[in-house]
Chains A and B, each alone.
Chain A
Amino acid sequence: MEKLAYFDSSHDFPEEIAMAAGFTPYKILGDVKERNDPADQYIQNFICPAARSFMTDALTHSSEWAGIVLAHGCDVTHRFYDVWKMHVETPFLYFLYVPMKYGTKSAATFYKKEMQRFIKALETQYGVEITDDKLKEAIVLSNSIKERMQKLSSLRGEKDISNAEYFDACVKSVQMPREDLIGVLDSLLEAWGERAAFPADKKKILLTGSDVTYPEWMDMLDEASMRVVRDDLSIGERSFAVLIPDKQDPLEAIIEYKFTMPRPATKNPPDPRFDYLFKALKDSGIKTVVSQNVKFCEPYAFDSVYLVKALKAKGYNVIQLEREYSPTKDMQIINRLEAFNEMKGETA
């Protein structure tokens, strides 16, 4: 099955439409180990390094993809569309505006029209027919994946599962052929179920902020004796925390799903994002939060000041980090995390 690649800044792209068109939705995640020189010919280095890495990925791998969709998330997505249009070779480059304002009637109406237009564009480009039945089938498959991811996610707090292993499962869930994915996730569920109990020397944390797109950063958390057992990241809980509702109109089901999933910092109003985090902490009993943003990622940098203050006021231990986009082990960050761990003694 061919890949339809997409670039969104959170979980904005409606993967089910690509699946109904017969494609594997493939989330572009860049390669942190590759230099950004190809993208840096066109983009200044004070613009999101992750997005520049995605562009490098597109410049070097677009021939492996049937087409590319940029779904609006943050400013970078639509501004990059213009630049990609000039330089990335692909038979199909599409921009899908996903409302920034969630929950209003006008936003829902507009979002539906945008998805209908996108469906028409796919049908015209690839000679496929995307029916409601096919969309519903895709939703069923998508929900099966989400259910398995929910189970895997819940094992993080019970078993000895490294941060990078969880991250790897999340990456598979947004890049692998979805039919094959079910089997892979079932095997993981079986394997993780047999793992040793959660290690006593690790602290359970909630991870929030910019999306982490490479495993090396997750390894650093392990090295600092921290285990992510809850999060609200797009390569994480955001993409599976809620299921797509069962509705007569599949597009309306997708809209309701998008409006109710754990909210990224790129949407308005912002409060549901914080509410999700507060509830996750309350439900899980976790006392420690690592909030981070990758350099130049503005939406999360804006939110972090309030979030840190609010979490502290609620009695949680919280650390805010700004990280480089780099696979290199950052000992300064590890030292800070270790010191933070030592100062905040409890292991809950």
Chain B
Amino acid sequence: MSETTTASGQAPAGPPRKRVERLQATNQLGKIIKGYLVRTSMASKLPWKKTAWITAGFPAELCYMFGITPVHPENAACISGSAKISLKLIEYAESLGFSRDLCSYFKTNVGAVGKKVGPAQGGINKPTFLASTNTICDTHVKWFQTQAREFGVPYFQFDTPNAVSGIDDEHMEEYIDYMADQVHEFMDFATKLTGKKLTEKRYNEVLEKSARLSDLWQEIYEYRKLVPTPVSFQDTMAAIFPLVILPGLDIGIKFYEALLKDIKARVASNTGAVTKEEEKYRVLFEGIPMWYKISFFHQLANYGAIVTYEPYTFSFGPKKKTGLPMEQMIRELARLIIDTPYNYSVEKRIKYFENVIDEYKINGVILHSNMSCRPSCTGMIDLKNAIQNDKGIPVWLMDCDMDDPRAYAEEPMQNRMESFIELMAANKK
């Protein structure tokens, strides 16, 4: 079934299709992803190469420092979702006994491994080891415990204390002490595994490139403040790829430089992802998108609603300090593992969102109440109420799922989208 048609084969109701112009440089991404998939596939087959499955929240830089190839099952699950095979893989995992309530990324991964699908469909090979944090969710830990046991390979966990609302600086430093200790433990683990001893030079080299990548990402986000935005979610949802899996390498830097060149050209010619007239509403989208239903964002755009900020994609490129002695750099890395926008406490999240709403001139907010990501959804009702009360803009708490299409029903979704648009329209009068 095409993603632009309903189950009945009918095109979804709503205004005619409006084209959201993607940046030309975004086309380079296909080649980058293919190259990465080939490299990871090769690495997993060569006995002297080491590969590691990692999750969001785990600094991939730690792998590159040791010459380990990081592989990202969440990213692979996005590929399965976009390729519209995630449901088949999820159902396979459920046939093994995994509950319908468990994370759809996890079940997609179980299905991809079990059914041995190819890399273009989210297939992923057995790694040398697995490593994750619990920064974003405990699910990462349970997922990797399960798969490490299945493969019979080691699993390294960063135990991340939670920076809850109201935590003071002194307490935070204590958390960072613990995380820094674990960075050292990981280094010992990786040294033992690879036989490579990490030098300060190599450490700084990787982190400086990673910091450069983040700086470029932040610059891209600065341009998104413009009206019309030169960059929409249609670009950023895929463009985060280098931040997720290639930080510390040149390839992502070159790609972001190309993106920025295009952006600057758009700004110079006063054009955007859509025209100023077409950009009726600027929308903040919180959460992981529905990878099997990317046309949702095109449907939004058809109403003139352009997603101009996503905490999800922004989270992957925080400002990183460089040029510090190694121990301090380790503490900075430890700080970033704990303190990412995706993991902010509710209090901090409200302040963060309200600043973004002002800075990016947001007219409406969609909060993805994602059944596969319960931790990120807890507190969303308070977030919704605070934004509505403080900023006076509509907020749509959208119940759905990132990789399980059974959670998406076309008609009800369309109705809610129309209501959301109507509220934004009424609010603008």
A-side interface size class: 35 or more
- Report chain B residues within 8 Å CB of A257: none
Q: How far does the Cβ of B327 sit from chain A's closest Cβ, in whole Å?
A: 15
Say whether B15 faces chain A, with CB atoms less than 8 Å apart: no
Residue A97 interfacial (CB < 8 Å):
yes
Contact A43 B97 (CB under 8 A): no
Assess the B102–A306 pair: CB atoms within 8 A.
no
Closest CB-CB distance, A168 to chain B, in whole Å? 30
User: Which chain B residues in 13-28 approach chain A with CB under 8 Å?
Assistant: none
A84 to chain B, nearest CB (A): 10
Please indicate the chain B residues that have their CB under 8 angstroms from the CB of A298 in the complex: 101-103, 138-139, 142, 374
CA distance A42 to B346 in the complex (A): 12
- Contact check: which of A47, A82, A109 meets B165 at CB < 8 Å? A82
Does chain A have a CB within 8 A of B143?
A: yes
CB distance from B287 to the nearest CB of A (A): 13
In the assembled complex, 6 residue pairs joining A and B whose CB atoms fall closer than 8 Å, in A order, are: A48-B374, A82-B382, A266-B138, A270-B145, A298-B102, A299-B138
CB pair A110–B178 under 8 Å, yes or no, is: yes
Contacts of A41 in B (CB 8 A): 381
* A117 and B174 contact, CB distance less than 8 A: yes
Contact check, B182 vs A301: say whether CB atoms are below 8 A apart. Answer: no
Q: Which of B156-164, B201-209, B224-232, B243-251 lines the interface with chain A?
A: B156-164
B258 in the interface (beta carbon within 8 A): no
Cβ-defined contact, B157 with A296, below 8 A: no
User: A82-B379, A99-B159 known; A306 and B146 CB under 8 Å?
Assistant: yes
Tell me if A74 is interfacial: C-beta within 8 Å of chain B. Answer: yes
A82 touching B377, Cβ below 8 Å = no
Q: Is the CB of B181 within 8 A of A47?
A: no
* Given contacts A83-B346, A86-B346, A101 and B382 within 8 Å (CB-CB): no
Q: Does A79 make an interface contact (CB < 8 A)?
A: yes
Complex CA–CA separation, A345 to B165 (angstroms): 54
Q: Within 8 Å CB of B141, what residues of A?
A: 100, 268
Binary per-residue interface labels of chain A (188-205) against chain B in the complex, 1 for a CB within 8 Å, 0 otherwise:
000000000000000000
Answer whether residue B121 sits at the interface, using C-beta atoms and an 8 A cutoff. no
List residues of chain B with CB within 8 A of the CB of A106. Answer: 178, 181-182, 185
CB distance A75 to B99 under 8 Å?
no
Report if A83-B159 is in contact (Cβ < 8 Å); known contacts: A74-B138, A75-B138, A299-B138.
no
Given contacts A76-B378, A298-B374, contact A268 B145 (CB under 8 A): yes
Is B99 touching A293 in the complex (CB atoms < 8 A)? yes
Residues of chain A lying within 8 A (CB to CB) of residue B378: 43-44, 47, 75-76, 79-80, 82-83
Q: Are A75 and B377 in contact (CB under 8 A)?
A: no
Output the least CB separation between B153 and chain A (Å): 13
Q: In the assembled complex, how far is the CB of residue A74 from the closest CB belonging to chain B, in whole angstroms? A: 6
Assess A75 versus B101: contact at CB under 8 Å? Given A41-B381, A81-B164, A106-B185: no
- Residues of the B chain whose Cβ atoms lie less than 8 Å from the Cβ of A304: 97, 99
The 4 A-B pairs of least Cβ separation, nearest first, read A79-B378, A78-B162, A106-B181, A82-B346
A302 and B185: CB pair below 8 A? no
How far, in whole Å, are A110 and B177 apart by their CA atoms in the complex? 8
Contact among B174, B182, B382 for A83, CB-based, below 8 A: B382
Question: B161 touching A305 by the CB < 8 A rule?
Answer: no
Known interface pairs A80-B378, A83-B346; A101-B157 also in contact (CB < 8 Å): yes
| Residue among A47, A101, A104, A306 with max Cβ neighbours from chain B (10 Å) | A101
A332 to B399, CA, bound (A): 29
Separation of A117 and B177 alpha carbons in the complex (Å): 15
Contacts of A299 in B (CB 8 A): 138, 142
Q: Are B382 and A44 interface neighbours, CB within 8 A?
A: no
What sequence of 0s and 1s flags, for each residue 395-414 of chain B, a beta carbon within 8 Å of any chain A beta carbon?
00001000000000000000
* B residues in contact with A293, CB < 8 Å: 99
A280 at the interface (CB under 8 A from B): no
Quick one: which of B335-351 are within 8 Å of A by CB? 345-347
Contact partners of B162 in chain A: CB under 8 A: 72, 78, 81, 95, 97
- Which residues of chain A have C-beta atoms less than 8 A from B159's C-beta? 99-101, 107, 268
CA distance A101 to B134 in the complex (A): 10
Assuming the contacts A85-B166, A106-B181, asked whether A46 and B145 have C-beta atoms less than 8 A apart, the reply is: no
B102–A82 CB distance below 8 A: no
A88 to chain B: closest CB distance in Å? 12
Among B97, B164, B171, B175, the one with the most A-chain Cβ atoms within 10 Å of its Cβ is B164
In the complex, the answer to whether A47 meets B346 with C-beta atoms within 8 Å is no
Q: Are A79 and B375 in contact (CB under 8 A)?
A: yes
Q: Which residues of A contact B399 (CB under 8 A)?
A: 44
Are B145's CB and A269's CB within 8 A? Answer: yes
Please name all residues of chain B whose beta carbon is closer than 8 Å to the beta carbon of A79 when the two chains form the complex. Answer: 375, 378-379
Which B residues, 366 to 389, have Cβ-Cβ distances below 8 Å to chain A?
A: 369, 371, 374-375, 377-382
Contacts A104-B185, A293-B99, A298-B102 hold; do A44 and B369 have CB atoms under 8 A apart?
Answer: yes
